[in-house]
Structure 1
Amino acid sequence: MYQYQKKQEMIAIATSDKAKKVYEEYLNKEDPYAFTEKGFVHSYQVKLDSLSYNPMGGLMVSLIINDDDEMLVDYNLIGGADGDYTSAFYGSTPKFWQTRDEYYKKEE
């Protein structure tokens, strides 16, 4: 029962509007046209089986970009005193970077 409650707590945090703000802020930084026809990032979803608490603090979250399991972005969500979240780090799979680089080379 305890593990189930912890998992539900992690899902609630990872899918909250405050967490989405952190995700989208970073995705918009990497793709200025994210979530538009001009961008390469069209959608994301939280990879629920990736959720875990970091022993050093925070919640580890992976996002699946554009329904592609090989294009992931990782976050370590940290709760702030103001109730908002930040990420202690960002990490992405090589396919994310390759897609971004290929996409924006077309525009040059």
Structure 2
Amino acid sequence: MKKGLKVLICLLAIIGIGVGGFAVHQHQEKEKMIKIATSEEAKKVYEEHMKANDPKALTEDGIIKTYEIDTESLYYNPMGGIEVRLYFNSDKKLDFHFGLIENDKGQLESSGYTISPKLSKLLKGVK
């Protein structure tokens, strides 16, 4: 084999290993975010905010009856923590978008949240 061809094969192998390693790292980070976002500690934060906006949340009498965590849209916030979207009552137009961050004691807390316009209209006058 010519020397140039050997060098090319080695370079392609190194690039392939680098890309594969990056993909594995990205997958591990995604799994880490999913674990945090779906933890019992995170669910307490979500439910606290739900009940602050809808005291009867997660009951038959509440506007918010059920919720699901959108694990596909998770991402790290450049300012710290992760961003999580929750959908309510199986309607993607009813959602909270949460920032989750660890406080000084290592506990999760909200770094802020937004409410979708449709959910905001439903929650007006509740309390």
Query: What is the CA–CA distance in structure 2 between the aligned matches of 1:3 and 1:35, rounded to whole Å?
Result: 34
TM-score when scaled to structure 2? 0.77
Deviations along 1:19-60, whole A, 9 cap, x unmatched? 001000000000000111211101111111210000110100
Q: Does 1:98 align with 2:121?
A: yes
Question: What aligned pairs does 1:22-101 form with structure 2 within 5 A after superposition?
Answer: 22-101=45-124
**Which moves more between the two structures, 9-18 or 91-100?**
91-100
Per-residue deviation, residues 41-93 of structure 1 (Å, max 9, x unmatched): 01111111210000110100000111101111011100123232111111011
Deviates more, 1:76-85 or 1:90-99: 76-85
Q: Which has the larger radius of gyration?
A: 2
* Structure 1 length-normalised TM: 0.90
Runs of at least 5 residues in structure 2 that lack an aligned partner in the other structure: 1-23
Percent of aligned pairs with the same residue?
40
Give the total of aligned pairs: 104
| Alignment RMSD (CA, Å) | 1.5
Residue identity matched to 2:67: Y
Distance 2:116 2:25 in 1: 32
